[in-house]
């Protein structure tokens, strides 16, 4: 059995490193192999899907997506950028907002949601992409250390503590350490990181893609019952 587990582990590492298959597909294939080879019983293999920690993480991802789809996160970004006149000040405000949002949602999902906002701000303000995107990632990590639900690591450890006879962590119990750390980390991102990070823009510019947008025309709109062509659209939006 040890040799079988070794080969399975090696195969999974290769698939993760090469990304020949999506990560979730690789994980499901590993789970299926463990069941088919008799290493795990079906109940043991599927027990993780009903774990409270996994369900909490799933709920956090749903919550973050709801905040994004309803425009709450975009409103936060717009509010922070409107209150500052310089691009650097706007970026600092967004980094503080990212840290605050990631304290109560998944920091990974928060980074993904704020990525287009920070990218657009960097382009408008002329800030190199490397000096905007890397601080974004670290701001979300710093914010995730404040509360119990900020990172998946906190939830996993908190879920395992009762199994060893330890009291579960409170929601703000980590804030005594996480909040001062996040504050010092943001100050570092504000004043020290811009002097150390290289000024690189090519990766962000090369990554721009065309997107398809949907436009809903109501019955009261002058566009109702009209055909839309490139010339008409340019004339209307001019």
Is the domain of 1 the same as that of 73? no
Question: What's the whole-number mean pLDDT along residues 90-101?
Answer: 89
Is the domain of 131 the same as that of 35? no
Please report the pLDDT score of residue 83 as a whole number: 64
Please report the pLDDT score of residue 238 as a whole number: 42
Q: Is pLDDT of 34 > 70?
A: yes
Is the domain of 21 the same as that of 90? no
Please report the pLDDT score of residue 203 as a whole number: 45
Is the domain of 102 the same as that of 156? yes
Is the domain of 76 the same as that of 103? yes
- Per residue in 75-88, pLDDT tens? 776 776 666 667 78
Is the domain of 156 the same as that of 122? yes
Between CA 38 and CA 192 the distance in angstroms is: 54
Please report the pLDDT score of residue 181 as a whole number: 95
Is the domain of 172 the same as that of 201? yes
Q: Is pLDDT of 146 > 60?
A: yes
Is the domain of 118 the same as that of 34? no
Give me the percent of the chain exceeding a pLDDT of 70: 85
For 116, the token pair is 């287009």
Lowest-confidence region among 44-48, 125-129, 146-150: 44-48
- Per residue in 155-199, pLDDT tens? 888 888 888 888 888 899 999 999 999 999 999 999 999 889 888
Q: Is residue 149 part of a domain?
A: yes
Is the domain of 143 the same as that of 110? yes
Is the domain of 65 the same as that of 15? no
Which structural domain range is residue 109 located in? 51-206
Q: Are the C-beta atoms of 31 and 45 separated by less than 8 Å? A: yes
Comparing 203 with 10, which gets the higher pLDDT?
Answer: 10
Q: Taking the CA atoms of the chain, what radius of gyration do you get in angstroms?
A: 23
Q: What is the dihedral of CA 57, 120, 140, 86, to 10 degrees?
A: -150
Q: Is pLDDT of 211 > 70?
A: no
Lowest-confidence region among 2-16, 55-69, 149-163: 55-69
């Amino acid at each position: 059995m040890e040799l079988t587990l070794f080969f399975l582990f090696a195969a999974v590492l290769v698939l993760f490193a090469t990304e020949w298959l999506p990560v979730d597909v690789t994980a499901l294939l590993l789970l299926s192999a463990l069941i088919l080879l008799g290493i795990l019983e079906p109940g043991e293999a599927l027990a993780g899907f009903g774990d409270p920690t996994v369900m909490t993480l799933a709920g956090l991802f749903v919550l973050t997506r709801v905040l994004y789809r309803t425009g709450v996160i975009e409103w936060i970004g717009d509010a922070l950028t409107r209150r500052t006149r310089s691009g650097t000040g706007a970026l600092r405000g967004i980094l503080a907002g990212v840290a605050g949002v990631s304290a109560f949602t998944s920091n990974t999902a928060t980074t993904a949601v704020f990525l287009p906002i920070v990218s657009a701000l960097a382009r408008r303000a002329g800030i190199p992409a490397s000096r905007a995107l890397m601080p974004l990632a670290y701001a979300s990590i710093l914010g995730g250390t404040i509360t119990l639900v900020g990172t998946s690591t906190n939830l996993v450890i908190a879920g395992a503590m009762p199994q060893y006879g330890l009291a579960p962590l409170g929601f703000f119990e980590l804030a005594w350490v996480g909040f001062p750390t996040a504050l010092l980390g943001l100050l570092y991102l504000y004043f020290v990181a811009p002097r150390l990070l290289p000024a690189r823009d090519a990766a962000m510019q090369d990554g721009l893609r065309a997107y398809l947008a949907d436009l809903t025309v109501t019955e009261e709109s002058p566009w109702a019952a009209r055909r839309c062509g490139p010339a008409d659209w340019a004339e209307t939006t001019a």
